[in-house]
Structures are given as C-alpha cells and as structure tokens.
Amino acid sequence: LCGVGGLSVWILCPLSTHPLWDDCIDEEVAKLLELKVQLGGDEGRHQFTLKTAKGTRDYNPKQMAIREKVFNTIISCFKRHGAENIDTPVFELKETLTGKYGEDSKYDLTVSFKPTVLDPTPSQVPFARYLAMNKVTNIKRYHIAKVYRRDNPAMTRGRYREFYQCDFDIAGQYDPMIPDAECLKIVHEILSELELGDFRIKVNDRRILDGMFAVCGVPDDKFRTICSTVDKLDKVSWEDVRSEMVKEKGLSEEAADQIGQYVSLQGGMDLAERLLQDAKMSQSKQACAGLTDMKQLFSYLQLFQVTDKVVFDLSLARGLDYYTGVIYEAILTQTGPVPVAAAQNGAGEKAEEGVSVGSVAGGGRYDGLVGMFDPKGRKVPCVGVSIGIERVFSIMEQKAEASAEKVRTTETQVMVASAQKNLLEERLRLTAELWNAGIKAEVMYKKNPKLLSQLQHCEDSGIPLVAILGEQELKDGVVKLRTVHSREEIDVSRDKLVEEIKRRTSDV
C-alpha cells in the first residue's frame, strides 16, 4: 500500500522468487514517488500520509513484550499436555475452502487468505485437510499463526483483518469425553494463569440442541437457521431472539416458547440427569445420547478439578454446521469497573459491572470434517479449542496501562559498564565473554560514557545487574557487580562472573 498525493494505491502482486522481482518493485515505487512530486510533493496541497492498511496495526516493544508473555503461557500449557506443533499455509485452494460453515459464517469466521479467493473457513478446515492429505489418524497438535478475515474490520472491538489464531486439537478414535474434558481443562489452566479476571466456561452439545428443537416442534429444515438465532442469546435478549425466530424465520409461537423454557436452563451434572428424565427430551434418542455424554464429561471435569468454572448452558449454540457433539465457550466476566475497550462485547456495547465482557475461547467436537476431504470418506474424530488471543492481548495491555506496571521489553541480564575513560576495549572484551557464555548482555555504543548514564539506562530498561570495570578491577582480576534495585556492590572474580550472574538472574 503506497500513499501518493493523498491517495492510497494498492499494488497486488503474486509471490515470486525471480531475481528481477525486487527491481520491478523498485521501478513501480519510483513511478509512484514521481507521481507524488507531480501532484505537489510535500509542499503542495496533497500530503503523503503514513499509515497501516485498514484493519491492521503496529505493535510497540511494550505491547510485544505483553504478547510474548501471553504466547509463552499458552504454548507452555499446550506442551504440558503433550501437544505437537504443526504449521499449514496461510492460504488454501478455493475448492478446499468451499463448504457449509453456518448461516452467519461470513461474519463470525476467520479465513485462509489468498487475493481474489477469500472464502469463510474456520481454522479447523486447514487442519482437517492436513489430516486427510497425510493420512494422519491421531495427533494432539497446536498451531499459532497469523490469519486473515474477509469482512470489514471493527478496530474498536478488536476485530482486525490480520490477527493471530491460537488452536489446540486432538484427533483420533478415543473413548468418549476424555479428550473433550482435557480441552476444557486447558482453557481453565490458560485463563487462570493469565489472571485476566473471573471467567466461566459454558458447555452444551449439538445433539442436545437438535433433540431439543425436534421435541419443541421445529421442522427439520429449520434446525440450522433456528440454531443460528439461538446463538445470538449472548448478545441480545430472549425477546429479540424469539421475535426473529417467529417473525423472520417463520417458527410457530408455541415452538418458540417451548425453546425459551429450555434455553434458560443452566447447571451441571444434575441438569443433565434431570433432562434425561424430562418428558419431552427423553423422547429424543439424539438428545439422550448427548445428555449421557454430558454426565460423563462432568465426571471427568470433577477429576480435573475445574467444575467450579464450567456450566452446562442450553443457550449455547455456536452456529457452525460442522460441530457434531460437545461445544463450549469461555466467557470473561468482570465484577468491578471495566476498561472501555476491554468492555466491548460481541454487539459492540459497553459491558456493565458484574456481567460478561466477551468470549475469550471457544470450540467443540467435529467428527465429520476430515471425512469431507478424504477420497474414501474415512472419518477421524476431532475435538479442539481456539483461544481468542487478540481479545486477551487487548485486556492484558489495558491491565498494564491501568496499573502503570513497568513492562520489560528486553531480557538483558547485565549491563557492562565502566567507571573511567579509555576502557572501551575492555568493556567489549568482557561483553563478548558474556555473550559466548550465553549471558544476555548490553554495552553502550560510546567510547567514554558517563557511569551515571549507564546506570540510568539500567533503571529505565529494567536491567537487574551492572558489571563495572575500572583500572583497579582490571589489576585485581575482578569485576564490580552491582544490583541495580538495591545498589549493592560486590567484587566478583572474573572466572566466577558468569556463574554469579546466572545465579542472580535465574528467575528473571
């Protein structure tokens, strides 16, 4: 994207490794700059404006430090649960992306990006294609990468065109609900470790939903469209949902009212047991199968010690056609004042105290997706979860701003400094020794910096230690090691310096 005389000009080109490719780009940029001069240049009415492309943003070192901390927490959790890392291309063939992904998929899903070929796809589609193409029948994987969205961005709501997707999936034929329970455990661990605030994880089952629709009198051909409407209950009132089902979707008022009685129910294993005895729900084999699995799921969640945050919620729908069983969504809640940007929920409204401030994770079971790509239609059962990483980033950034917390943007362990002039070579020599020993060290790029300036740099950057050289220290074969926070100084022999720095910074 080039700005020329107040105009934004896109240059869309295929990727190429041709040796003349850079020359072509340089030639085109030169033409655009020449056009800018003809339009008046910097002195004229048309001004050159530097900005990022619509729906994208830059991140400064402080923001990147926060993002890296979040990524490390999430990846550590995934690895703790035995996940392997895979990667798939950022774009897919058009025929791979075509399929049924729900009535509102063009608004709710991410896409794999390719110019002129932008079709809605959940992140599980490239994974399913990978499994089918490589004939993989079982894997526990995680995948973190940038993805791209087709629709118009809404930056104030954290809805970007370019953003990170953070996925964990378990594929394979296993006994019911064990992998599903582990996915919920992972969500619980991540949200607890990030300390975002209170949260709850809503769970339901598409078989329970379909059974509920059937016993309430919803015609078979309206299951998906009614499911899509129910999925809006986290954003709008039941009255609005009922009105849409009756007036726009043509559902009878009686059927809508019966659905309303069920979608208001929340609980745990006790609710699953009660619904198994319900006069209407017990008529549906599909609903009974889902309710039986829900009981099993909660028994495993009790063993994993996460039932304090998990709730069986019949209003949860997640309007994607490919879900076949358990579905879940993690909602961050707030009991105190909510920062404005963090309080933007899915409808773009400011959340009030004590209510949900939006979804931060979601997923479910999708046993039929891999079979769509397999030539022989072989099914590979899958269950997974996606972390709403951009919302998490936004909340973490605002927490840091609100607390005036000092965020370190480097991991430097020690600053190599001098208290006297003409010691540049000695500083560089010691710095190289520390680098070679795996120590993260810095040195000022001046021949004779003032000691105060060097110490101030450590204060500003959060560097915990300073290794100070002077003529006397060089004669004695020691280095004066200063702790920045306490200003305590001790002499350390040169051959013991690396060991002492590692000991003092082991938790940094």
Tell me whether residue 205 is annotated as binding: no
SS3 38: helix
Q: Which residues contact 333 (CB under 8 A, 6 or more apart)?
A: 197, 198, 199, 200, 354, 355, 356, 357
Nearest in space to 236 (alpha carbons), one of 110, 347, 379: 347
Both tokens assigned to 212? 């509920």
Tell me whether residue 164 is annotated as binding: no
Tell me whether residue 165 is annotated as binding: yes
Q: How far apart are CA 35 and CA 44, in angstroms?
A: 13
Handedness of CA 229, 233, 234, 240 (dihedral sign): positive
Q: How many CB atoms lie under 10 A from the CB of residue 8?
A: 12
Nearest in space to 5 (alpha carbons), one of 57, 60, 42, 52: 42
Q: Count how many Cα atoms sit within 13 Å of the Cα of residue 470 in the half-sphere of its side chain.
A: 11
Q: How many CB atoms lie under 10 A from the CB of residue 250?
A: 11
Tell me whether residue 207 is annotated as binding: no
Q: How far apart are CA 356 and CA 78, in angstroms?
A: 26
Q: How far apart are CA 391 and CA 397, in angstroms?
A: 10
Greatest CA span in the chain, whole angstroms?
A: 94
Tell me whether residue 323 is annotated as binding: yes
Nearest in space to 38 (alpha carbons), one of 29, 46, 49: 46
Residues pairing with 489 in the sheet: 482
Q: Which residues contact 379 (CB under 8 A, 6 or more apart)?
A: 367, 368, 370, 371
Q: Which residues are annotated as a binding site?
A: 149, 165, 169, 318, 322-323
Q: Which residues are annotated as a binding site for L-histidine?
A: 149, 165, 169, 318, 322-323
